[in-house]
Amino acid sequence: MVGIKCVDRSYWLVDTLHFPAFVTGGAEIRASHGQVERRMTTTRTILTRMPSKVGQPTPLLRTMLLGCVIGAAALAGTTLMAHAAAGQPVSGQIGLQDSVTQVMDQIRWFHNSWVNPIIIAITIFVMGLMAYAMWRFSEKSNPVPSKLTHHTGLEVAWTVIPIFILIMIAVPSFKLLFKEYEFPKPDLTIKATGNAWFWDYEYPDNDKIKVTANMISDEELLEAKLGKDGYAKQFGALTGVQLTKALYQESKPLWLNPPEKYAGGRLIRQLSVDNEIAVPVNKVVHVLITSNDVIHSWTVPSFGSKTQAVPGRVTATWFQAYKEGVYYGQCSVLCGRNHSSMPIAVRVVSDQAFANWVAAVKARDMKKARGILLAATEGIEPRSFAELTTGLQTDGLTPSDVSETLK
């Protein structure tokens, strides 16, 4: 560390160990009996400036004080920012998705109304204490340093208070954990099997009907629109990044107005699947989860469900959705190259719609089955530009583009 006295009688401290470029790069140095005078010709230096008046707040202190204020405001603002909609993420999301089960209601309360306020309060207190200590015990305010080495009451306080804070967090946390594993009597059981990289579903209570859910890709949308020959003619000569970019650009309008193969329903890129599964509203659903290859994770945020799929073992989760609609999730454990291509789509419908869907799946008429689910939630699906593009990459699309696709 080298000290430099400048013309304006302020001092600069330069760390020559961590910033050796300071003493090179055009710097002319003259030293005599411990006094260092520098005349800098370099324009890029890393310095910490300290005023000449002892006790005056330094830029570093002012910056830390400002940081305390900004940090406190930012932390407090997290509870007021945009929240995710139920069933899917939204752009600029802060916080958990809206809930449609009692378990997720409690998770959201625990996170938003209990743990976050405690964390914010602790953070503001610590930053304020640091700022006060830097001001109160500066050389100007406290020229004679205290020789106090310990304080029994203070040491007891900073040991006991954190214990009480942890207990305040632990008690509702354990209650919530027990709630998640108190499996009520099921009205419906589904077996979900993870594969690389798709999901297989079986309904043991409904003649063991099976549904395979694969993520809908840009390529599949364009093939459904153009046909295999048309697709090959337009994109057959492209490879690698060029092919990926071309597919992405050409498929963007199709996500808002899908081909007839997908029954005309709204699709969300990286979340929609070719065959959604259905469950009846207000029914207790047990999901038995396993895997055929590597570890996956069956996760639907709006249900509060997140359970790993382990090869050779059967784990379980449950939910009881009280609101109709379509709810998306994804595999939440890194499972290989196409880990991001394992979305989950569950449509919650009325009892009658569920019975009709089961009948269509039994007949292996998946197009009819999809149409039944779309009709069952008609009016629930968002129709505005902002809602239609939620969670969708819409580079280059405008509200007028979307209105044309909806006509």
Output the pLDDT for position 386: 43
Percent of the chain whose predicted confidence (pLDDT) is above 70: 71
Q: How far is CA 182 from the centre of its chain?
A: 27
Output the pLDDT for position 380: 58
Output the pLDDT for position 70: 53
Percent of the chain whose predicted confidence (pLDDT) is above 90: 54
Output the pLDDT for position 145: 80
Average pLDDT for the chain: 78
Q: Lowest-confidence range among 184-193, 353-362, 382-391?
A: 382-391
Confidence label for 31 from pLDDT (cuts 50, 70 and 90): very low
Q: What is the pTM of this model?
A: 0.70
Flag whether pLDDT at 60 surpasses 60.
no
Please state at what angle helix 102-109 crosses helix 152-180, rounded to 10 degrees: 170
Cα(372)–Cα(354) distance, integer angstroms: 9
Which is more confidently placed, 206 or 51?
Answer: 206
Instruction: Give strand pairing partners of 195.
Output: 198
Flag whether pLDDT at 125 surpasses 50.
yes
In this predicted model, what pLDDT tens digit does every residue of 262-290 receive, in sequence order?
A: 766 678 999 999 999 999 999 999 999 99
Buried b / exposed e over 246-267, threshold 16 CB at 10 Å, is ebeebbbbbbbbbbeebbebbb
Output the pLDDT for position 264: 62
| Residue labelled with tokens 């940081």 | 67
In this predicted model, what pLDDT tens digit does every residue of 307-345 receive, in sequence order?
A: 999 999 999 999 999 999 999 999 999 999 999 999 999
Whether the CA torsion 45, 51, 54, 59 is positive or negative: it is negative
Output the pLDDT for position 263: 64
**CATH numbers and ranges of domains, the chain:** 2-50 (no CATH), 59-180 (1.10.287.90), 188-406 (2.60.40.420)
Cα(389)–Cα(221) distance, integer angstroms: 17
* Interval 22-26 mean pLDDT: 35
Q: How far is CA 362 from the centre of its chain?
A: 37
* Interval 178-197 mean pLDDT: 94
In this predicted model, what pLDDT tens digit does every residue of 232-268 receive, in sequence order?
A: 999 989 989 999 999 999 999 888 888 887 766 678 9
